[in-house]
Amino acid sequence: MMNKKDLIIFIEHLFINCANAIDAMATLTWVKANIAQELNPLMAMLIEYSPMLFMSVKLTLLPILSIFLWHYRDRKLVTVSCHILCLIYTMVLVIHLVIGNRVLSYLDALGH
């Protein structure tokens, strides 16, 4: 059985990894539809070069980092980093929701 602190960190890791997957899919959709740009220059290059490589990198690096952070979860820096990543990914998801809402509003105005 996990203690309360480990459970919170586990849930944060789960959220971060799920949010990362949603971010990857939404980013690829918006970029390929010329609705938005990838702000990370390295990831933007990967999308241009190969969308599959972009998805592979995006869906591999964060889980590896997550495993590393889980291993050192008793350190204050790791706990704070997880909290910050949760905040960042929450903001990223809100941005995707705003973009999606604007796209739907535009399509609705066109009568689609």
Residues 6+ apart with CB under 8 A from 89: 15, 16, 19, 20, 23
Cα 34 to Cα 14: distance, rounded to the nearest angstrom = 30
Separation of alpha carbons 36 and 42, rounded Å: 16
Calpha distance 43→81 (Å, rounded): 21
Instruction: State what percent of residues in the chain have pLDDT above 90.
Output: 84
Instruction: For residue 4, give the nearest of 52, 73, 93 by alpha carbon.
Output: 73
The tens digit of pLDDT for each residue in 56-95 reads: 999 999 999 999 999 999 999 999 999 999 999 999 999 9
